Amino acid sequence: MKVIQTRVLRGPNLWSKHTSLEVTVMLNEYECDFDSLSSFAVRLCERFPEIALFQPADRHETVTMAHALEYALLGLQNQVGCPVTFSRTIQISNTRSYRVIVEYSEEAVGCLALDFSLDLCHAAMDNKSFDLADALRRLRELYEDIRLGPSTSAIVRAAVARGIPYGRLTDGSLVQFGWGSKQRRIQASESDLTSAVAESIAQDKELTKALLHAAGIPVPLGRPVSSAEDAWAAACEIGVPVVVKPQDGNHGRGININLVDEERIKAAYHLAAGISDSVIVERYISGHDYRMLVVGNKLVAAARRDPPQVIGDGIHTIRHLVEQINRDPLRSEGHANLLTKIHLDEISQVHLATQGMTADSIPPKGMRVVLRNNANLSTGGTATDVTDDVHPEIAASVVAAAYMTGLDICGIDIICDSILRPLEEQGGAVIEVNAAPGLRMHLQPSYGKGRAVGEAIIDSMFAHGEDARVPVVAVTGTNGKTTTVRLLASMLEHNQLRVGMTCTDGVYVNGLCVDTGDCSGPRSARNVLSHPDVDAAVLETARGGMLREGLGFDHCQVAVVTNIGRGDHLGLANIDTAEELALVKRLIVENVTPGSGVAVLNADDPLVAKMADHCPGSIIYFSRNKHNPVVLTQRAQRKRVVYLEDHEIVVSEANMEQRISLSGVPITKNGLISFQVENAMAAIGAGWALGLDWAVIRTALARFVNDTQSVPGRFNFFNYRDATLIADYGHNPDAIAALACAIDRMPAKRRTVVISAAGDRRDEDIRLQTRILGDIFDEVVLYQDKCQRGRADGEVLGLLREGLENARRVRKVHEIYGEFKAIDTALSGLQPGELCLILLDQVEQALGHIHSRIA
C-alpha cells in the first residue's frame, strides 16, 4: 500500500460535513482482496483487537487493505477519546487506487493516527510487531496536549449550541466566535472585554481589598509589611490570628494562615518574601472557602472548595492514604478528569510540618489531616456546588466586588461559615478576586449539580438570538464567478456595508486590497471571515479549494452557481466529466443555511438547475429564457425567479414584480453582451436573497461599468485609432462561445482576434476554442507564452491551428511568440471601424501594455 496523497479537509467537503482526512492509496494485487487474505485480517486483529468494533457489518463491497486502513484510523482515534464516527473507502474507477476518508476531531491527532494506522497495516502484512500500547500512549498525550481545556470547551460547546461558528486561533485556548464585525474572542475564561487594567487590579490583593472596602464589601483588613519585624508589628495592630501572604501570589504558594505567635509570623514573612517582593499581613477569617463565579452583573455559580485532605486510620502513613485516594478513577493528572491527583509536593510537606507531621507520619484514627491550605482543583482539592444556597446579600456583595475591580468574568473567593447567611453577621469576607477563573469546579463539581456556566458566558457576550454570523455569499461556476462576486459586492457596498470579498483577483476588505493573486480558496475565505471590518462576505469559491480542503465556512446564507457548461479544467484531479464537476460545485448549494439559506441557480444550465434537489434552503432561479420550463414551474408555484423579457430583467415572486431595463445595466452594453446579462441576473438574485432594497440594487447595477478598474480583463473596451478594442480573459470553450456570441452582434468592417491557450487543458478543448472563433473572425493571431504547462514547444500553437481547419471566415493566421508581440501585430494592421478581440493571458501586464499603446 502506497500513499499517493493526503488531504486535510478542514470544512464541509465532498464526502461529509465533518473535518476529515482524505488519503489516496495505491494497493498491489495482493492487498486488494481480503477474502484471499484472511491471515492478514487475523494478524491485524492480533495487533489491534479493538479494530473489529469499527468494521461495519452492513458493508457489501470487497474488503481491501484500504478498508483496513480506514478501520484502523477510525479505531485508533476513538481509542484515545476522539469522538469520530464518519468514514468511507471508495475505489477510484476500477483501479487499484482507493480513497480512504476518515473524520478527525483534532487535526494533529488524526495525522499521527494515520501514521500509526499505516504502520499497523504494514506490520500485519509483513508479520512484524506493532507496539499498540506505545501508539495509544503517544496519541493520548498529544490529544491531552492540544485539545481545548475544560473551561474553554464548555464555552465553545455553548456557542455551538446557539449556532455560533467558532475557530481556534492557536493550539492554546484562544478562540474566535462569530464572523467579521460580529466576532468576539476568548482565551479560556477571559473575554476580549476583560480589561488588562482590571486584571492588574485583581492581581494586587492589597489594592483589590482597598477598592472593595471602599464599596462597603467586607474584606480581611491588614497591610503590606516590609520586614519580619514589621510583620509582627502589623499582626499586633490587626490582632491575631493572622495570615501572611505574598501580595500577588497564586496557587496558595507562600501563604501561611491562622498564625498567632511571633516566631511563626516572622518565619512566615520570610517564606512569603521568597515568593514575592511584597508581603501582606491580614486578618485570619475562619470558615469554609467558597468560589463565586460572576459573569457580567450576575452570580452564575458558587462552589465550596475543600483542600485535599486524608482521614487517619491509625495504621497507614499519610503517603499511603494519599495513594489510596489517588487510585480513584475520577482522579487523573491535569484537567483530563473530574478530579486531579494529589501530590505530596514541597508545599504540602511544609504544610504538614506546620502541623508537626511528615508524609511518613501515621495519623490517629479519625483525624482529619489537611494537606495544603489552598483548595484549587488542580492541586487535588474537591468542589461542592452550593449555587442554590447563596444568600442574596452575599450574591449582591460579590457582584459589587466584580464591578469594583472591573472584571466582566471573574471568580471571587470568600471565606465564611455558612453561605446561607450574609457575610457581615458571621464575620466572613471576600479574600480575593481572580481573573480567568477555572470553570471545571462549576461544570462538574465533585459533589452536587453542574452549572451551565459556558452558556452564561456566551449569553453575556452575544444578545439573545444572535448567532454572530455576517451574511456570507459563496459563488461558484465555470465562468462569471469573479464578475458576479464584484457586482454583488458593489450592491452590498451601496447598502453601506463593509464588504469582505475574495476572488481570483485578490482579497478586498472594505474597498482595500489586502491580498493579491488567486484567492478563491478556503484560506482566503477564512481570512475574510476573521476580519473585524467585514459586515458581509462575498466569496468566489473555486473547485480547486473545495477539493483540496473543503469549504472555509460551515454554511453560507446564499450560494450562487453561474454555470457548469462543458466545464473548465476537465481531465484534471480525476474529474473527467461535467457531471463530476457539478458534483464538486454543488457543495456550496448543499451547505446553505438549513431553512433560511438560498441557492441562486442558472435554470438554463441543466446541471446547475438540478442542484436544487440538494439544497436545504429555498431556490431563486435565473434564466435568459422566460419560457424555460424550470422557470415556468417555479413561477406557477409563485416562487422566486429572475428572467429576461424584452430587454428587461424581470424579478418576480407571487404578486411582487420588479423590472430592470438592460439600458440601466451598463456591463451588459445594452444587452449586447449576453453573458454579462447572466452575471447580472445571478448578482440580482443574490442581492434579493439577502433582502437588499431594490433601489440599492438598481443604483449599484447602474454604476457598475466594464472598465479595467472594476473588472480588469472582463470585456474591457478601448478605442484604438477609431477601431474597437476588447480585452478579455476568457479561457475555456464556454467563455469563448459567450464572447463570440456577443461580438457577432457588434457591427464591424473586419474582425481580428488574438489568442493563446494554457497547456494543461485537454487537446479537444484547445482546438474547440479556435474552432468557435474561426467562424466569426477574419484574422487570427495565435501566440505562445513562456509557460507551456508540460507541453512541448509549439504543441499548443499546433492545436490552435488545427481548430482553424475548415474555419468559415478566417482569411489570415499569424503565429507569434510572446503576448505583447502578438498584441502589437494585431494593432499594427487595425483600421478605423474594425474590431479586435484580445484574449489575455497575463491580465495585468497585458492590460498595461494595451494602455501604453493607446496613450
Among Mg ion, ligand ATP, none, residue 243 binds (CB under 5-8 Å by kind): ligand ATP
Beta-bridge mates of residue 288: 416
Least distance from ligand ATP to the Cβ atom of residue 617, Å: 23
Least distance from ligand ATP to the Cβ atom of residue 681, Å: 9
The reply on whether position 432 binds Mg ion by CB under 5 A is: yes
Residue 574 amino acid letter: N
Nearer to Mg ion, 21 or 398 (CB): 398
Among ligand ATP, Mg ion, none, residue 685 binds (CB under 5-8 Å by kind): none
Least distance from ligand ATP to the Cβ atom of residue 241, Å: 8
Query: Where in 504-523 is the site for Mg ion (CB under 5 A)?
Result: 504
Instruction: Compute CA distances 156 → 174, 435, 457, 504, whole Å.
Output: 11, 19, 10, 33
Nearer to ligand ATP, 504 or 618 (CB): 504
User: What is the rounded distance in angstroms from the CA atom of residue 805 to the CA atom of residue 129?
Assistant: 65
Among Mg ion, ligand ATP, none, residue 623 binds (CB under 5-8 Å by kind): none
From 730, 729, 780, 753, select the one nearest 835 (Cα to Cα): 753
Q: Which residue has the cell 487510585?
A: 327
Least distance from ligand ATP to the Cβ atom of residue 246, Å: 7
User: Among 266, 481, 548, 791, which residue interacts with Mg ion (rule: CB under 5 A)?
Assistant: 481
Nearer to ligand ATP, 283 or 635 (CB): 283
User: What is the rounded distance in angstroms from the CA atom of residue 219 to the CA atom of residue 204?
Assistant: 14
C-alpha cell at position 709: 478598474
Contact 14, 589 (CB under 8 A): no
User: What is the rounded distance in angstroms from the CA atom of residue 84 to the CA atom of residue 168?
Assistant: 19
Least distance from Mg ion to the Cβ atom of residue 275, Å: 14
Question: CB under 5 A: which stretch of 16-24, 258-266, 406-414, 772-780 binds Mg ion?
Answer: 406-414
Least distance from Mg ion to the Cβ atom of residue 22, Å: 25
User: What is the rounded distance in angstroms from the CA atom of residue 82 to the CA atom of residue 23?
Assistant: 19
Least distance from ligand ATP to the Cβ atom of residue 507, Å: 14
From 472, 512, 505, 514, select the one nearest 486 (Cα to Cα): 505
The reply on whether position 413 binds Mg ion by CB under 5 A is: yes
C-alpha cell at position 229: 519585624
Instruction: List b or e across 130-153, with b for residues whose CB sees 16 or more CB atoms inside 10 angstroms.
Output: bebeebbebbbebbbeebbbbbbb
Q: Nearest 5°: phi and psi at 304?
A: -90, 135
Query: Which residues of the chain form contacts with ligand ATP (CB under 6 A)?
Result: 220, 243, 245, 249-253, 255, 257, 282-285, 289, 373-376, 413, 415, 431-432, 477, 479-483, 504, 540, 562-563, 675, 678-679, 714, 728-730, 734-735, 738-739
Total of chain residues touching Mg ion, rule CB under 5 A:
5
Nearer to ligand ATP, 428 or 617 (CB): 428
Contact 180, 538 (CB under 8 A): no
> Count of CB atoms within 10 A of residue 517's CB?
10
Least distance from ligand ATP to the Cβ atom of residue 239, Å: 13
Among ligand ATP, Mg ion, none, residue 812 binds (CB under 5-8 Å by kind): none
User: What is the rounded distance in angstroms from the CA atom of residue 289 to the CA atom of residue 304?
Assistant: 6
User: What is the rounded distance in angstroms from the CA atom of residue 330 to the CA atom of residue 353?
Assistant: 29
Least distance from ligand ATP to the Cβ atom of residue 245, Å: 6
The reply on whether position 482 binds Mg ion by CB under 5 A is: yes
User: What is the rounded distance in angstroms from the CA atom of residue 142 to the CA atom of residue 115?
Assistant: 14
Nearer to Mg ion, 570 or 836 (CB): 570
Among ligand ATP, Mg ion, none, residue 480 binds (CB under 5-8 Å by kind): ligand ATP
From 178, 174, 155, select the one nearest 166 (Cα to Cα): 178
Least distance from Mg ion to the Cβ atom of residue 485, Å: 8
Among Mg ion, ligand ATP, none, residue 257 binds (CB under 5-8 Å by kind): ligand ATP
Least distance from Mg ion to the Cβ atom of residue 681, Å: 18
Query: Where in 666-685 is the site for Mg ion (CB under 5 A)?
Result: none
Nearer to ligand ATP, 167 or 671 (CB): 671
Among ligand ATP, Mg ion, none, residue 285 binds (CB under 5-8 Å by kind): ligand ATP
Among Mg ion, ligand ATP, none, residue 563 binds (CB under 5-8 Å by kind): ligand ATP
Beta-bridge mates of residue 736: none
Nearer to Mg ion, 183 or 476 (CB): 476
3-state helix, strand, coil in the chain (%, to 5): 40, 25, 40
Helix (H) or strand (E) holding 815: strand 812-817
User: What is the rounded distance in angstroms from the CA atom of residue 393 to the CA atom of residue 8?
Assistant: 54
At 223 the three-state DSSP class reads: strand
Instruction: Compute CA distances 504 → 476, 521, 713, whole Å.
Output: 12, 9, 12
Helix (H) or strand (E) holding 698: helix 694-703
Q: Which residues make Cβ contacts (< 8 Å) with residue 527, sequence separation at least 6? A: 502, 507, 514, 515
Distance from chain centroid for Cα 578: 30
Least distance from Mg ion to the Cβ atom of residue 18, Å: 28
Nearer to ligand ATP, 374 or 591 (CB): 374
Nearer to Mg ion, 96 or 566 (CB): 566
Nearer to ligand ATP, 63 or 430 (CB): 430
Contact 436, 188 (CB under 8 A): yes
Nearer to ligand ATP, 40 or 729 (CB): 729
Nearer to ligand ATP, 147 or 351 (CB): 351
Least distance from Mg ion to the Cβ atom of residue 374, Å: 7
Nearer to ligand ATP, 459 or 540 (CB): 540
Alpha helices in 445-494 (DSSP H): 453-461, 481-494
For Mg ion, the binding residues (CB under 5 A) are 413, 432, 481-482, 504
